[in-house]
Structures are given as structure tokens and as C-alpha cells.
Amino acid sequence: MSASTHAASPPPRKPRLVCPAGSLRALTLAIDAGADAVYMGLKDATNARNFAGLNFDLAQARDGIAYARSRGREVLMALNTFADARAPGRWFTAVDAAAGLGIDALICADTAVLAHARDHHPQLRLHLSVQASATTQEAIEFYRERYGIRRAVLPRVLTLSQVEQVCRHSTVEIEVFGFGSLCVMVEGRCALSSYATGQSPNTAGVCSPPSAVRWEDGAGGVSARLNGVLIDRYAPDEPRGYPTLCKGRFDVDGTRDYALEEPTSLNTLSLLPQLMDMGIAAIKIEGRQRSPAYVEQVTRVWRAAIDDCAAQPSRFAVQPEWTAALGRWAEGQQHTLGAYDRPWR
Amino acid sequence: MTTARPASLSASLPALPPPPAALRRLIARLPVHPPSLLLAAALNRTLRPRLPDDAAAALAGHTVEIEVRDFGVRLRLALRDGRFHSAPDHGPVTLRIAADAASYLRLLRGNDDADRLFFERALVMEGDTEYGLLLKNTLDAIGPLLHWPAPPR
Ligand code: SF4
């Protein structure tokens, strides 16, 4: 498909590589390793990775933006949780702070937050967060008409043909996830963590908050509990995963297995030529909670792959060393195309 | 600013030879105090000046036990009155971390990711998960504490 079939400005030929930054150090390493943009959040519940010791205060955000800008890269700020009706002001203040910092775009999901940005900071570029769970062209168009969003991040629940369908008709840029841990539920609508702990990504910015996680060594192996709920039990030398409800092993009809999703990582490296052909504007790497070493090395692999693919799309082949490098960092040490090829919807 | 390093560097780190069994048994019988004192002194020199005030306040007042499995060494540390101290041998700890020397070395040099080591069971963490995460994120944000051998130019 040619770029000219798009109604809006033609998508860039090379998708922009958008990398996670949980700290100033991760931000600088991502930029040095070739990220076109980094995304970060402030130290509070306004972003969906609100973990202790993670994220930026205003001074760090300023330093990060200066570092990126001096190298011609972008900084996006995730402000993608849903405002608490008891104190929505915190979210609006965070939008004002982001605008004051001069970030390149704000990533939001809540319509109240989007409306505040539209009304008070019309110059601010808005991206629709994956947490908004817009899965169709019609939904995306609604956000564009109402709030003027310029890009939408697609949930990881779509198949490749669904992504193509959205891309073909979209009047805004489309961003997809390329690599990282999977959050499989229709994003923005998963309340599994709230059910067990009272906190979930959309309410508090955390899935399976660490304060609710307990690892217990016992006779049957190591048990992972989330607020008392047994999520999984690992044999002594069995690899572990994050204790999220969606990736637990449960007894279902007498069989103990992963009921919803296995602890694997998404890796769409092999789909790059197709994604580029669809006119995907940006590819996002998951992992603001991971170390700067992860960010640096995953960014380096994706930079090389995107450059290779853009240079010779028809001859693109996933290099074994890329697969090996990404395999080292993947949760569950497995790769999957995620929903891009999952038989169930 | 750290300059870009080849991706393969972390895979070619020097592996530490395991200590002989006799030495290991001897080390394991030593009290935790002298090594803990040494580590506390080292951290007061390298880590303390780079520790942000809010992180220091949040981490203070808890005992962490660090076990170097292949050397059979256990260390206990606590951050008190703005300094790292060795903590008593016995009594409860907030967090217990166990890994081999090579894994610690890779983490200290900024070449590895605690999550990855944890998934692979190369690093074991027991106790207060939230405290562990705060510690991990704080150390990640600070960057390598050890530059050895010096990165290639
Ligand atoms: S429980 Fe799983 S699907 Fe739900 S928010 Fe957490 S990681 Fe995502």
C-alpha cells in the first residue's frame, strides 16, 4: 500500500523508535542507543508505571528534555491513568506541568485529562494512550475530532489484519508495541489487579502493587501471592515471572496451567516489513520499570533492525544476534507475536 | 555520560572462578561483621554521595541481608543517621538478597538487569517486595557503582 492512500499527512517511511525511561539515566542511555523518542512519567499516580523509586521529578524532567533536544530527539510524557473523581485536580496540574516543561507530546487516556489539555494548552501535541483502548478507526476518529489527538497507540489485543485495517483508514499517526512484557486484557479495562489489591493501572498506575506481593519459600516450592491470593507456585529452579493475575497458574477443571496468558514477552521484530508497509508511525518498547541496561540494549537492537528494514525492506531478515540479545531481556524468555497472531480474540 | 558500548560487552564479562571448597567453608564460618563493615565503608564512599535525599530517607531504618552464594558470605547493612552501617548478625531483616558474586558484579557495573536475573533465579529476593523495588529502582537510577575494568574507549 502506498503512503498516498492516507488521508492525513503521509506517514514517515521509517517508524520512529519510542523507548521507555524510568529514570534520567535510562533516558540518556536510550537516546545514546538510538531512540527517536523516549517516554517518561512524573513521580505520582498520574502515569501507569507508578512504582517506588521510578520516574522523574520536575528538575530531572527538565534535564532529560534538554539532553534529548540537544540531540534532536523527542520526549513524550505519559499521563495515562484515569483521574480520581475525588481529586481530579492532580491530573490537571500534571498536564500544566508537562506543558510548562515543553515536552513534545502528552500521552493520555482519560477524556477529562484530554479535554483539560485541549482547552488550556492548545499547542500541546496529544497522543492517545494504549490505556484508552481505542481499537477501531471510529474510536480513534472520535478522539481526534473531540480532542485533536495526533497519534493513537494501539492496544496489544489487535491482530495484524486489524492493525492494518485501522492504519489504512486512520487520519492520525498509529503507534504499536514492538517489544516487552505483555498486558493482554483489553487495555485500559483490566480490573484484575483492583480485584485482588484495590489498585490497578488505571486507578493507581500500578498492576500488582509491590506492597501486595509476597514471595514465600515453602515445601512445595516458592509461592507468589498477591494480597494473599496465590498467583503461582514455582519449583526451586523454575524461571519466575511478575506475579500478575493474568499470568498466574490456576486450577481450571482439574488442570493446573496458565489460564489466561503465559509469562512471555511480545516481540514483533519479524513483522517489521509488514508494519512499515502499513505506514506505522512509531514503534514502542515497553519497560519503564526495567533497568537502564535493558533499555540501552533493547533500543540498540531495534535501532539496527529499523534501519536495516528501511534500507532494504524486501531483504529484511531478523538477525540471530538480535533474537539472542532480546531473548536475554525477555520476561519468560520466550517470544511471541502476541495477539498479532493469537487465535483467540 | 556513559558512551555507547557494544551490545556484546555484557556477554563477555570475566567470570569469577568459584572459590575452593575449603576457603568457602572457612569464609562461611566468619562472623558477618568484618565484611559488612567493609561494604558499609565502601558504600559510604561510592553510593552515599550519589543517593538522593528522598531515597535515603525512604531506605533508612531497615536491615538488608546480602548473601554472596558462591562465597558463602552473608552481610547485613542498614542505613542510619545518613550513613551505611553494619547491622547485627541476628534478628529480622526487611529484605534478603542472594546471588553469586558474578551477578552482583554485573549489576554493580550496570551490565545487567535485576528483573532478568530474578526471572532466571540468578537473584533471589525475600521479604518486603516494595522495599526491594525501591532499592532496585534507586540503584538503577544512580547508575554503575563500579567501573572495572574501565570501559573500552
Ligand atoms: S493483570 Fe495482566 S492484563 Fe491486567 S493490567 Fe495487570 S498485566 Fe495487564
Task: Classify the complex by whether its ipTM is higher than 0.95, answering yes or no.
Answer: no
Asked if the C-beta of B89 comes within 8 angstroms of chain A's C-beta atoms, the answer is no
Which chain B residues are closer than 8 Å to A26 by Cβ? 140-141
Residue A3 has pLDDT above 80, yes or no: no
pLDDT for residue A193: 85
**Tens digits of per-residue pLDDT, A19-38?**
999 999 999 999 999 999 99
**Tens digits of per-residue pLDDT, B20-43?**
676 666 666 666 567 888 889 999
pLDDT for residue A185: 58
Highest average pLDDT, of A77-91, A136-150, B28-42, comes from A136-150
Asked if the C-beta of A333 comes within 8 angstroms of chain B's C-beta atoms, the answer is yes
pLDDT for residue B6: 33
Q: Stretch B105-113: mean pLDDT, rounded?
A: 88
Please give the tally of structural domains in chain B.
1
pLDDT for residue A182: 76
Could you tell me if the CB of A201 is within 6 A of ligand 1?
Answer: yes
pLDDT for residue A337: 64
Q: Which of residues 51-80 of B touch A (CB under 8 A)?
A: 55, 58
Distance A234 CA to ligand 1 centre (A): 20
Contact status, residue B111 vs residue A294, Cβ threshold 8 Å: no
Cβ separation A29–B2 shorter than 8 A: yes
Could you tell me if residue B12 is inside a domain? Answer: no
Rounded to a whole number of angstroms, the distance between the first and last alpha carbons of chain A is 26
Mean pLDDT over the full length of chain A: 86
Mean pLDDT over the full length of chain B: 79
Strand partners, A336: A266
Cβ separation B10–A297 shorter than 8 A: yes
Return phi, psi of residue A285, to 5°: -100, 130
Contact status, residue A187 vs residue A156, Cβ threshold 8 Å: yes
Residue B10 has pLDDT above 50, yes or no: no
A17 closest CA partner among A317, A268, A224: A268
Q: Stretch A120-139: mean pLDDT, rounded?
A: 94
Give A269-333 as a 3 state SS string.
HHHHHHHHHHCCCEEEECCCCCCHHHHHHHHHHHHHHHHHHHHCHHHCCCCHHHHHHHHHHCHHH
pLDDT for residue A5: 44
**Higher confidence at residue B149 or residue A201?**
A201
Residue-number span of the structural domain to which B66 is assigned: 21-139
CATH 1.10.645.10 fits A3-182+264-341, yes or no: no
Could you tell me if the CB of A244 is within 6 A of ligand 1?
Answer: yes
pLDDT for residue B127: 86
Q: In angstroms, what CA-CA distances link B130 with A212, A264, A273, A289, B76?
A: 8, 23, 41, 13, 19
The residue in chain A having the minimum alpha-carbon distance to the alpha carbon of residue B137 is A53
pLDDT-above-90 percentage for chain A = 50
**Higher confidence at residue A211 or residue A89?**
A89
Least confident of A180-184, A186-190, A252-256, B47-51: A186-190
Asked if the C-beta of B142 comes within 8 angstroms of chain A's C-beta atoms, the answer is yes
Q: In angstroms, what CA-CA distances link A81 with A50, A188, A191, A240, A285?
A: 10, 9, 13, 28, 19
pLDDT for residue B11: 36
Residues 6+ apart with CB under 8 A from A257: A249, A250
Residues 6+ apart with CB under 8 A from A285: A17, A18, A19, A20, A177, A178, A179, A180, A295, A298, A299, A302
Q: Stretch A145-168: mean pLDDT, rounded?
A: 91
Contact status, residue B64 vs residue B135, Cβ threshold 8 Å: yes
Mutation for B interface: A49, A216, A226, A291, most B CBs within 10 A? A291
Q: Which of residues 220-239 of A touch B (CB under 8 A)?
A: 236-239
Cβ separation A291–B125 shorter than 8 A: no
Give the global pTM: 0.83
Residue B153 has pLDDT above 50, yes or no: no
Contact status, residue A156 vs residue A266, Cβ threshold 8 Å: yes
Could you tell me if residue B71 is inside a domain? Answer: yes
Return phi, psi of residue B87, to 5°: -110, 160
- Which residue's C-alpha comes closest to atom 4 of ligand 1? A190
Q: Stretch A25-54: mean pLDDT, rounded?
A: 86
Strand partners, B64: B77, B95
| Per-residue pLDDT band at A252 (split at 50, 70, 90) | confident
**Higher confidence at residue A123 or residue A224?**
A123
**Tens digits of per-residue pLDDT, B62-95?**
999 999 999 888 999 999 999 999 998 888 999 9
Could you tell me if residue B63 is inside a domain? Answer: yes
pLDDT for residue A322: 94
Give chain A as a 3 state SS string.
CCHHHCCCCCCCCCCEEEEECCCHHHHHHHHHCCCCEEEECECCCCCCCCCCCCCECHHHHHHHHHHHHCCCCEEEEEECCCCCCCCCHHHHHHHHHHHHHCCCEEEECCHHHHHHHHHHCCCCCEEECHHHCCCCHHHHHHHHHHHCCCEEECCCCCCHHHHHHHHHHCCCEEEEEEEEECCCCCCCCCCHHHHHHCCCHHHHCCCCCHHHEEEEEECCEEEEEECCEEEEEECCCCCCCCCCHHHCEEEECCEEEECCCCCCEEECHHHHHHHHHHCCCEEEECCCCCCHHHHHHHHHHHHHHHHHHHHCHHHCCCCHHHHHHHHHHCHHHCEECHHHHCCCC
Distance A57 CA to ligand 1 centre (A): 26
| Per-residue pLDDT band at A201 (split at 50, 70, 90) | confident
Contact status, residue A63 vs residue A69, Cβ threshold 8 Å: no
Contact status, residue A340 vs residue A271, Cβ threshold 8 Å: yes
**Higher confidence at residue A181 or residue A314?**
A314
| Per-residue pLDDT band at A255 (split at 50, 70, 90) | confident
Distance A339 CA to ligand 1 centre (A): 15
pLDDT for residue B94: 94
Least confident of A28-32, A274-278, A327-331, B89-93: A327-331
Residues 6+ apart with CB under 8 A from B29: none
Asked if the C-beta of A241 comes within 8 angstroms of chain B's C-beta atoms, the answer is yes
Strand partners, A20: A39
Q: Which of residues 118-137 of B touch A (CB under 8 A)?
A: 118-121, 125-126, 129-130, 132-137
Asked if the C-beta of A136 comes within 8 angstroms of chain B's C-beta atoms, the answer is no
Could you tell me if residue B84 is inside a domain? Answer: yes
pLDDT for residue B23: 65
Could you tell me if residue B25 is inside a domain? Answer: yes
Residue A1 has pLDDT above 50, yes or no: no
**Higher confidence at residue B125 or residue A316?**
A316
Q: What ranges do the domains of chain A cover?
A: 3-182+264-341, 192-258
Could you tell me if the CB of A192 is within 6 A of ligand 1?
Answer: yes
Asked if the C-beta of A28 comes within 8 angstroms of chain B's C-beta atoms, the answer is yes
Distance B14 CA to ligand 1 centre (A): 38
Distance A200 CA to ligand 1 centre (A): 8
Residue A331 has pLDDT above 90, yes or no: no
Query: Which ligand 1 atom is the nearest neighbour of the CA of A193?
Result: 1
Could you tell me the CATH number of the domain that includes residue B63?
A: 3.30.1050.10
**Tens digits of per-residue pLDDT, A161-186?**
889 999 999 999 999 999 988 776 55
pLDDT for residue B76: 94
Q: Stretch A205-222: mean pLDDT, rounded?
A: 81
pLDDT for residue A341: 60
Could you tell me if residue B147 is inside a domain? Answer: no
